[in-house]
Amino acid sequence: MEKSKRNILAPPEWREGVFTSYGKWMDGWETRRKRIPGHDWCIIKLGIPGVIHGLDIDTSYFTGNYPPKASIQAACLESDSVIFPQRKSIMGSAACTDWVRKVAQLTQEWTYILPMTKLQPDGGVARLRVYGKAVKDWNHLDKNKVPVDLAAMENGGMVVGWSDMHFGHPRNLIAPGLAANMGEGWETARRLDRPSIIEVGEDGCLKVPGCEWAVIQLGHQGILKKIEIDTNHFKGNFPHSCVVEGVFVPYLKRLDASTDDWSSLKWKTILPTSKLSPHKGHFFSKLEECGVVSHVRLTIYPDGGISRLRCWGLPDLSSKSSL
């Protein structure tokens, strides 16, 4: 193995004229030229088990040393066993070309944690991207009923609808950890229907038209106990206020992400209109009782940016499957 397989996970780059003891420095995984029977392969453990929907094999900068073909298999382990079970083929052999990205969309819905990448027979790959939806094993929860973030991406949460994503995609709201900058949050464009002079109403809220919203499908239906809304990094562009609502529609067919069809659902208020501050984590534990919810809608007034949304709650295990 000439280049580290770990390189396959980081962003790619090209370094002109840089050589190592193995030859030209390449940002990716490159194997030696095959002089024995067989093919080259590597196994990657996914950060989170999940349903794989798409694969991206990138051979950028590998112009004379890319593999003629590549295939991917996957398996799901219940433990960190070194004995690998039989793998399912999730992508047949796909021809590669130099310096392109080969993208495959999958229709099978199996839960995987170990994809195996095969180069047929050898060559170099710059990047491998595995796209899908995280699947959490809800049968191994803390028996002390400690609330978990039901909206978190790593727990299977997924952003399914939004009104605007001009400066940042709303899926960033449920990403793990803290955002490094504004670009890792959700930020909308400034509303063009804003008045020439902003006024404040008797209720202390700004008298401005319109709002922006994002809908999150929870990783598991449940009862929310605490909500965190973080405006980290948003100092001159944070929303004035927000509202969080919930609805229980576990078997809802996916709607068009940017349409108003989401407004036809019978949303119930979880967090009433609440003012927000710049560059700050806001924690709300006094929530309205609305029972079990499967989706939440965050509405911001009139526009602006939110870094993270956390919806801490207890999963309703009367339904054993996640959404």
Position 9 pLDDT exceeds 90: no
Going by pLDDT thresholds of 50, 70 and 90, the confidence category of residue 155 is: very high
256, 263, 273 from 260: Cα distances, Å: 9, 6, 21
Domain boundary among 134, 159, 189: 134
Q: Where on the phi/psi map is residue 210: left (φ > 0), alpha (ψ -120 to 50), or beta?
A: left
Average pLDDT over residues 153-168: 95
pLDDT reported for residue 268: 97
Residue 2 lies in a domain: no
Q: Are residues 307 and 217 part of one domain?
A: yes
Q: Are residues 113 and 205 part of one domain?
A: no
Q: Are residues 154 and 113 part of one domain?
A: no
Residues 70, 125: Cα–Cα separation, whole Å? 9
Residue 320 lies in a domain: no
Bridge pairing between strands 23-24 and 19-20: antiparallel
Where would I find the beta strands (DSSP E) of 99-201?
101-105, 111-112, 114-120, 124-125, 127-134, 148-149, 158-162, 186-187
Position 76 pLDDT exceeds 70: yes
C-beta neighbour count of 50 within 10 angstroms = 21
pLDDT reported for residue 82: 56
Residue 161 lies in a domain: yes
Q: Are residues 159 and 293 part of one domain?
A: yes
pLDDT in tens, 208-228: 889 999 999 999 999 999 999
Domain boundary among 93, 112, 134: 134
Residue 110 lies in a domain: yes
Query: Which has the closest alpha carbon to 277: 242, 315, 316, 322?
Result: 242
Average pLDDT over residues 160-166: 95
pLDDT reported for residue 321: 47
Residue 287 in contact with residue 224, Cβ under 8 Å? yes
Range of the domain at 294: 148-315
Count Cα atoms within 13 angstroms, Cβ side, for 170: 27
Q: Are residues 195 and 108 part of one domain?
A: no
pLDDT reported for residue 79: 65
Position 238 pLDDT exceeds 80: yes
pLDDT reported for residue 74: 85
Please tell me the least confidently modeled range out of 31-40, 70-79, 313-322: 313-322
Q: Are residues 168 and 123 part of one domain?
A: no
Residue 323 lies in a domain: no
Over the range 119-152, which residues count as b (16 or more CB within 10 Å of their CB) and which as e?
bbbbbbbbbbebebbbbbebeeeeeeeebbbbbb
Residue 321 lies in a domain: no
Position 5 pLDDT exceeds 90: no
pLDDT in tens, 244-280: 999 999 877 666 666 668 888 999 999 999 999 999 9
Q: Are residues 252 and 174 part of one domain?
A: yes
Position 95 pLDDT exceeds 60: no
Residue 149 in contact with residue 311, Cβ under 8 Å? yes
Q: Are residues 157 and 69 part of one domain?
A: no
In degrees rounded to 5, what are phi and psi of residue 195? -70, 160
In degrees rounded to 5, what are phi and psi of residue 45? -90, 120
- % the chain with pLDDT above 70: 80
pLDDT reported for residue 49: 86
Q: Are residues 303 and 197 part of one domain?
A: yes
pLDDT reported for residue 239: 97
Query: Which has the closest alpha carbon to 296: 219, 200, 233?
Result: 219
Query: If you average pLDDT over each of 2-6, 50-54, 82-86, 289-293, which comes out highest?
Result: 289-293
Domain boundary among 85, 109, 134: 134
Q: Are residues 219 and 108 part of one domain?
A: no
Domain count, the chain: 2
Please tell me the least confidently modeled range out of 14-23, 115-124, 225-234, 281-290: 115-124
- % the chain with pLDDT above 90: 55
pLDDT in tens, 173-203: 999 999 999 999 999 999 999 889 989 888 7
pLDDT reported for residue 11: 78
Residue 142 lies in a domain: no
Q: Residue 196: CB partners within 8 Å, gap ≥ 6?
A: none
Q: Are residues 73 and 34 part of one domain?
A: yes
Higher pLDDT, 317 or 311: 311
Average pLDDT over residues 109-122: 72
- Tell me the longest C-alpha to C-alpha distance in the chain: 80
pLDDT reported for residue 48: 83
Residues 304, 120: Cα–Cα separation, whole Å? 49
CATH of the domain at 180: 2.60.120.260
Q: Are residues 260 and 115 part of one domain?
A: no
Average pLDDT over residues 84-107: 58
Tell me the two tokens of residue 203: 């209720």
